Structure 1
Amino acid sequence: MLFRLLSVLMVTTLIGCASEVAVINGDELLEIDGVYLEPDTGQPFTGLAQWHYDNGQLKTYIHYEGGKRNGLNEDFFDDGRLAEKSTYVEGKRNGLHEEFYDNGQLMERRHYIIGQGNGVWEWYSREGDLIEQKYYVNGDVVSD
């Protein structure tokens, strides 16, 4: 838990040192038609938005570019364990998406190419057993 928080803070710090990425409380962003805007200027936000639980624990971080999700996004349980992990390109999921149970077991694994399901999607039980598997091409199920 502490390691993940420190890793996120270190990455944020390194990114900030390298290119002065803006970091903002995600609750401050304005959303209009799927585009996230800076609260002060109304311009599309580029940077890192973070949300926290009441106890201060990191809840979510999302990278934005030009007001759209772009890059790694992660959600955490209130104890710091990873709940969900996705990568976005221009506001659309792209690549591997994973969700986890609160016990740490993988719940589901999906693959995307620019917002459309592509490849094997898998769902697992809380104990880690494969429950279901489907294969997608361009957003359509082609086999179970």
Structure 2
Amino acid sequence: MKLSSIHIVIIVFSCFCMSCNRPSKDENGILLFENLESRTDTHWTAGHSSFWFPTQKRTGPYMYLGDEKYSGPIVKYHPNGKLEFKGTYDYGFKSNEWSYYDAEGNLFSVEEYGDFGTLHDKKVFFPDGELKLKLIQNRSNDTLYFIERYADGSLKYMHHFHSLENDIERYKRLNEKGEIYEFFNEDSIYYKLDPETLEPIKSGTFMNGRRVGSWLSYFDNGLLMESKNYQDGELHGDYKSYHYNGSINRYGTYIGGDKTGEWIEKYDDGTTKIIANFKRNKLEGQYKEFHENGALKSLKEYYADQRIGTWKTFYDDGTLIRETNYD
């Protein structure tokens, strides 16, 4: 039986459409990443408080090939034809080893994935192939170990922390000479130095992961910038801050994390700027401000951070500007 021209056109068009719907692959028969689509699934479940009620939840994202979560190998190429990355998906999640390359074809990162797309290990490389960064996650005790190196292979940064709580247990940073300029241990001293000069920037002590005792911070000229005290992780005791020239800037007292009693602030020449009173971290009582010549600038009164009483404002020669009553 002879086919009409219409039949021939229909057959050709059908074959063309079938080839268009076919996912594209590379010369090795591996699926190209461009065929996949990222989607988040939505489903209904039962929530509970005092009553059962339907709750909408989202999971994912997953990588889909058509209407199915994709499982199998995948590749992607740079515009110049060089391999960009290769890896494997398992039911829409990254799985096993993934390798990433720059546009010149150099390997710069390798990642290892476990169940449900969980990242276990990661390595990043310098262009010459030397290890730059390494991440090791131990799922058995929920800890993570991370190191980074300089181009010559020397250690740059190392830390170790509990991944579930995201609490760092210990870490250290080193300059290119191999000198430690920052060190932390949850049950030890903490210090931070200038990486070049090794001049102090900050120091203190941790106990059970909480700040305790005296903590000091410094300006880049080596002079003290701030002195504060902690008790079980809360500010407690005397507090002092300083101007860049070394003179006192502000001082007062904390109790259980709250500003308490009289706090004084000064200009950098030592002249008093503010005298304030606090109770449980709120302004309470008389509040005075002064001009740089020492003359009274304003006189105010607070109760639990609220304005009360008569407020007065003065020029630097003592002349009254305004008077306002808040009772």
What's the TM-score once normalised by structure 1's chain length? 0.71
For 1:64, the equivalent position in structure 2 comes to 230
Q: Is 2:292 the partner of 1:132? A: no
The answer on whether the counterparts of 2:261 and 2:278 sit within 8 Å (CA) in structure 1 is yes
For 2:286, the equivalent position in structure 1 comes to 120
For 2:259, the equivalent position in structure 1 comes to 93
Q: Which has the higher strand share?
A: 2
The answer on whether the counterparts of 1:24 and 1:48 sit within 8 Å (CA) in structure 2 is no
Change (3 A) 1:86 1:24: farther
Q: Deviations over 1:44-89 (max 9, x none)?
A: 2111110011221111101011111111100111222111102111
The answer on whether the counterparts of 2:202 and 2:218 sit within 8 Å (CA) in structure 1 is no
Task: Could you tell me which runs of 5 or more consecutive residues in structure 2 were left unpaired when the two chains were aligned.
Answer: 1-187, 192-200, 312-327
Which residue identity is paired with 1:106?
T
Q: Which has the higher contact order (CA 8 A, sep 6+)?
A: 1
Q: Matched residues in 1 for 2:276 and 2:252: separation?
A: 9
- Which 4+ stretches in 1 moved above 4 angstroms? 22-29
Change (3 A) 1:23 1:84: farther
Q: Matched residues in 1 for 2:228 and 2:203: separation?
A: 13
Q: Matched residues in 1 for 2:226 and 2:297: separation?
A: 28
SS of residue paired to 2:246: coil
Give the one of 266, 270, 277 matched to 1:104.
270
Change (3 A) 1:24 1:87: farther
Give % identity. Answer: 19
For 1:73, the equivalent position in structure 2 comes to 239
The answer on whether the counterparts of 2:286 and 2:299 sit within 8 Å (CA) in structure 1 is yes
Deviation, structure 1 residue 135: 0.8
What's the TM-score once normalised by structure 2's chain length? 0.33
Q: Counterparts in 2 of 1:16-95, with a 5 A limit? A: 24-25=190-191, 27=202, 38=206, 43-95=209-261
Q: Matched residues in 2 for 1:69 and 1:141: separation?
A: 27
Deviation, structure 1 residue 138: 2.0
Q: Matched residues in 1 for 2:208 and 2:291: separation?
A: 44
Q: Matched residues in 2 for 1:102 and 1:24: separation?
A: 30
SS of residue paired to 2:210: coil
Which residue identity is paired with 1:101?
Y
Q: Matched residues in 2 for 1:23 and 1:97: separation?
A: 29
Deviation, structure 1 residue 141: 1.2
For 1:14, the equivalent position in structure 2 comes to none
Change (3 A) 1:24 1:98: farther
Change (3 A) 1:88 1:45: same
Task: Could you tell me which runs of 5 or more consecutive residues in structure 1 were left unpaired when the two chains were aligned.
Answer: 1-21, 30-36
The alignment's C-alpha RMSD in Å is 2.3
Q: Matched residues in 2 for 1:23 and 1:120: separation?
A: 40
Q: Matched residues in 1 for 2:250 and 2:261: separation?
A: 14
Change (3 A) 1:138 1:46: same
Which residue identity is paired with 2:228?
I
